[in-house]
Amino acid sequence: MKFWSKVFAIARKDTLSELRSREILSSVLMFALLVIVIYEFAFGGDPDTIKTVAPGMLWTTFVFAGMLSLNRAFIPEKEQGCLEGLMICPVSREAIYAGKAISSLLFMLIIEAIGLIAFTVLFNLPVISLPVITITVFTTIGFVAVGTLFSALSVNTKAREMVLPILFLPIVIPIIIGAVNATQAALASGSFSDVGSWLQIIIAFDVIFSVVSFLTFDFIVVE
Amino acid sequence: MAGELDSVTRPLAFKIQGLTKSFGNRQVLRGLDLEIEAGKSVTVFGPNGAGKSTLVKILATIMNPTSGTVFINGQDLKQNAWAIRRHIGLITHQTLLYGNLTGRENLEFYGRMFDVPDLKSRIQEMVSLVGMTARQHDRVATLSRGMQQRFAIARALLHKPSIVLMDEPETGLDQEAIPLLWRAMPDNAENVRTVIHVTHSLERGLELGDRFVILDKGKIVYEGVREAIDLAGLKDVYRKSTSMST
């Protein structure tokens, strides 16, 4: 019980801090919307082309926006020496990981929700549907689970903006491939039945990598 | 090498044996041995790169030693870091405060992390102690460096730690606020508090410490007690021990 109260205290602190500064939400949201607008100009004229490339457009937007967001996740802790403040608290490192992951997940889901609306408006695609939203939520869970770990790892490096994608992208490729294929199937049929197998892969990735990240976080932040 | 040590026997707050720390090939601490009795205030002096901050980080459980043993309040640092953290307050030249939160929100956050009972009244007490009642609802980023450091002192003492580690805590504090650091000092028999104070200021260190050690190149090169030396003597010892001018 105490574990979760500390997890939520960390997530609450991050959310409050972000609501005040809007460092992540405003910059990442602007980036995501710009990418969607660029895609609209590139592919906007042909509905068949859009239908073919829409899952790729959606997930490249979310992946790069997500990396920008995750790059910022530990920077406030590092810049103000607050990571040391957290380290001296009688809190398990796993609670720190879970708290940071929950706040990052929340920020990403907000950005993705607005991104899906923008997709619907600009491309007239049925992306605001239960299957696509389910795929987005589960993919984001796995993405953030791994991303939070690597964000903590890269924050101590000099070229952290470059280190995170290099370390992180190869690990999340399976879940991104799953998300693109699942979204393709969902847009084609609009039903859950065709996305089931891809969704299972995504959920399996979520479970495995959430547990692994949760257990290895201690080794990442110990020094 | 050593001055006279206090003869009063108390339980040990710190027992450090053969402590080393290396970063790659660079050895920062080279076999440190140090015992500190509970309720004592020890000042650590030393030139830049002597290993003072590394020592504080290891004792604060932020960093793992390369080798050696550290017992804090009788508990092995390697095995009981979690339990030890409850007893430690850390004041450094960084405030460890979130700039986008108010001073009070920062204290609420750290209070929850340390499970401080009756948190609201304890925060009020600490905010009043550091003279920041009027500015407690201001964002930390909007406060002066000295005001931020006052909140940092409140943060470190919020959970009533029995050990306070201070790494150049005077940073940013004005002359009026420096006496606040006395709040971190051992005060009375019921509230035994052990303090390790790292500073470059020989005057301040001599004023605040019962004992002092001089660290150079990762080793203790001098150890003494306040009663045995005055400021001029300390400056002389420091110069000779570190081969540097004060």
ipTM of the complex: 0.85
Q: Which of residues 61-120 of B touch A (CB under 8 A)?
A: 61-64, 82-83, 85-86, 88, 90, 92, 94-101, 105, 109-110, 112-115
Whether the pLDDT of residue B243 is over 70: the answer is no
d(CA B27, CA A121): 60
What is each CA distance from A33 to A39, A55, A143, B87, in whole angstroms?
A: 10, 16, 20, 49
Least confident of A144-153, B20-29, B200-209: B200-209
Instruction: Write out the H or E segment, with its range, that includes residue B75.
Output: strand B75-76
A81 has a pLDDT exceeding 60? yes
> Is-contact A141 A206, C-beta < 8 A?
yes
> How much is the average pLDDT of B66-71?
94
Contacts by A27-34 with C-beta closer than 8 Å and gap 24+?
A27/A68, A28/A65, A28/A68, A28/A69, A28/A107, A28/A111, A29/A65, A29/A111, A29/A114, A31/A64, A31/A65, A31/A68, A32/A61, A32/A62, A32/A65, A32/A111, A32/A114, A32/A115, A32/A118, A33/A114, A33/A115, A33/A118
Q: Do A90 and B86 lie within an 8 Å CB cutoff?
A: yes
Query: What pLDDT, in 10s, does the model give residues A115-138?
Result: 999 988 888 888 898 999 999 999
pLDDT at B216 over 50: yes
Higher-pLDDT residue of B1 and A201 is A201
Count of CB atoms within 10 A of residue B2's CB? Answer: 11
Considering all CA atoms of chain A, what is the largest pairwise distance in Å, rounded to the nearest integer?
Answer: 58
Whole-angstrom Cα distance, residue A53 to residue B233?
Answer: 78
Residue range A6-34: mean pLDDT, rounded:
91
The pLDDT > 70 percentage for chain A reads 98
Q: Do A20 and B101 touch (CB under 8 A)?
A: yes
CB-based contact A70:A150 (threshold 8 Å) = yes
Once rounded to an integer, what is the mean pLDDT over residues A181-208?
A: 89
pLDDT of B245: 41
Which of B94, B100, B143 to mutate: most A Cβ within 10 Å?
A: B100
Mean pLDDT, residues A212-218: 90
**pLDDT per position as a tens digit, A156-189:** 787 778 888 888 899 999 999 999 999 999 988 8
What's the pLDDT at A218?
84
Tens digits of residue pLDDT in A38-74:
888 888 777 888 888 889 999 999 999 999 899 888 8
Tell me what pLDDT residue B8 has: 53
Cβ atoms of residues B241 and B222 within 8 Å: yes
Three-state DSSP at A67 gives helix
pLDDT-derived band at B6 (thresholds 50, 70, 90) equals very low
Task: Name the DSSP class of A190.
Answer: -
- Measured in angstroms, the CA of B154 and the nearest CA of chain A are apart by 13
Measured in angstroms, the CA of A12 and the nearest CA of chain B are apart by 9
Q: Which residue has the higher pLDDT, B4 or B203?
A: B203
Residues of chain A above pLDDT 90, percent: 52
Strand B211-216 relative to strand B219-225, pairing: antiparallel
pLDDT value at residue B1: 41
Q: Which residue has the higher pLDDT, A8 or A190?
A: A8
* Contact state of B85 with A86 under an 8 Å Cβ cutoff: no
Q: What is residue A81's DSSP assignment? A: T
For the stretch B69-123, pLDDT in tens is 999 999 999 889 889 999 999 999 899 999 999 999 999 999 999 999 999 999 9
pLDDT of B179 reads: 76
Q: Which of residues 69-88 of A touch B (CB under 8 A)?
A: 76, 80-82, 84-88
Angle, nearest 10°, between helix axes A93-123 and A130-154?
A: 130
What's the whole-number average pLDDT of chain B? 87
Residue A60 or residue B244, greater confidence = A60
The span from the CA of B110 to the CA of A177, in Å, is 41
pLDDT tens sequence across B170-194? 877 777 777 777 766 665 555 678 9
Considering only the beta carbons, identify the residue of A9, A16, A88 that sits closest to B61. A88
**Distance from C-alpha of B53 to C-alpha of B159, rounded to nearest angstrom:** 23
Confidence of residue B200 (pLDDT cuts 50, 70, 90): confident
Closest among B42, B32, B34 to B14, alpha carbons compared? B34
Interface test with B, best of A5, A89, A93 (most B CBs within 10 A): A89
Residues of A in contact with B88 (CB under 8 A): 88
The distance of A17 to chain B (nearest Cα, Å) reads 5
Closest approach of A106 to chain B, Cα-based (Å)? 18
